[in-house]
Structure 1
Amino acid sequence: MALGDVYATLEQLKSYLGPINDIVDDDELTDALNSTSRGIEKICHRQFNDAGTASARVYEPSKLDLVRPDDFHTEAGLVVETDDTDDGTFPTAWAATDFQLEPLNGIVDGENGWPFWKIRAVNSHRFPLDGRRATVRVTARWGWATVPSPIKQACLIVAAETFKLKDAPFGVAGYGEFGAVRIRDNPVAMNKLAPYIRDPLSVL
């Protein structure tokens, strides 16, 4: 799946709800999946799909030895470049031996399959820390290799709950603006998402 796609398919949601064998509610089900998927991203501060190809993004270092880019799941196509003269260009390409990718080996709490989201300068290398502009450009294949099962499960749980709200006494006007709020109100979904939140304090 590409960045911006939903984290569970329409067919999976229809099976989870019933199963549902007709197409009468497909538009509403799709809306529920979309709003829930975007809500998951807002809560977790990350996207769980695969960009498919590498592209460049720029970042400000957190420290002289650390950059925190968005998630990327492979070293293939990875390029790290810096702006050492504060002119908005990135002429200095770093060798693979100049930095370390973390989490090490793509393992978190004993679980494989995690992407990298830290680039740590090693030996005597340091990232230029300007404080006014982004000084590091990272070219990578953004996202995760596969969507984690707990993310899919949380998506199905909340999308199903959202869809069922149409039958509530007062109904709902739309799904999009309420996605993240409804996820936070669901303890089962939040429990599944908790290990994947990049900045837990920001969603309390």
Structure 2
Amino acid sequence: MAHEYATLAALRRRVGSETADTSRDDDLTSALAAATRGIDMATGRRFWLDDTPTARVYRTAGRVVREPDGDLLLVDDIGDVAGLVVETGSGSAWSPLTGYETQPDNALADGKPVTGLLRSGSWGFGTARVRVTARFGWPAIPDDIVEAALIQATRLYKRKDSPEGIIGSAEWGVRNLSRRDPDVWALIEPYILPGFG
């Protein structure tokens, strides 16, 4: 997929591999990809940005929140509003829509995604559909997510040395690996969408 949250070079350094040593690259690349997709699944979102705008269709039922200054349509993370198009309709009949604001205010300036579109009027209810064309994802991968990916990829890479989930050391003796790495969880927890994790 090639949208990993850390670089192979950073993971090589993390596991103590020499820069010129590429003998473990396949295993390290696999661990990094698995760690990245695991973060995606645990948080319910992805932190890489689409290369070009793509269209997604949303039913308004269950996605509209009534706010004091209008109706907020909850959308997937939008990391860039260049090329943002909002339309209503269905099938092959779509009409452009104006009069909306991106929410939260200043999200992109703060390095966070747009997660809602606020409209003073109604988005429509029930079977109404809204098509949003945008670059989905995050504007940039947060540092916490990069660190979580490196920790988890290192853990997955070293898992080959503990096939039964048991690790040992002369200093600490034998112990079971925990199901979740507490540091990884602490780093990704603020990014988890409600209903995930």
Do the two structures share a fold, i.e. TM-score over 0.5?
yes
Q: 2:85 aligns with which of 74, 79, 84?
A: 79
Q: Which runs of 5+ in 1 are unaligned?
A: 172-181
**Partner letter of residue 79 of structure 1?**
V
Identity fraction in percent:
36
**Partner letter of residue 101 of structure 1?**
T
Note the 1:15-94 alignment, pairs <5 A. 15-21=13-19, 22-61=21-60, 62-63=63-64, 65-83=71-89, 87-94=90-97
Higher normalized helix content (fraction of residues)? 1
Which structure has the larger Rg?
2
CA offsets 1:82-105 (integer angstroms, 9 cap, x no match): 11xxx534422112xx11211111
Deviation of 1:196 (Å)? 1.1
Note the 1:20-169 alignment, pairs <5 A. 20-21=18-19, 22-61=21-60, 62-63=63-64, 65-83=71-89, 87-95=90-98, 98-106=99-107, 112-122=110-120, 125-131=121-127, 135-169=129-163
Aligned residue in 1 for 2:173: none
Q: How many residues align?
A: 178
Is the alpha carbon distance of 1:163 and 1:31 closer, same or farther for their aligned partners in structure 2, counting shifts above 3 Å?
Answer: same
Distance 2:17 2:2 in 1: 26
Q: TM-score, normalised by structure 2?
A: 0.82
Q: TM-score, normalised by structure 1?
A: 0.79
Distance 1:4 1:139 in 2: 23
Q: For residue 42 of structure 1, give the secondary structure of its aligned residue in structure 2.
A: helix
Deviation of 1:4 (Å)? 5.6
Structure 1, 62-71 or 147-156: larger mean CA deviation: 62-71
Residues 44, 196 of structure 2: 8 Å contact kept: no
Superposed CA RMSD in Å reads 2.3
Distance 1:194 1:135 in 2: 31
Residues 73, 115 of structure 1: 8 Å contact kept: yes
Deviation of 1:67 (Å)? 1.9
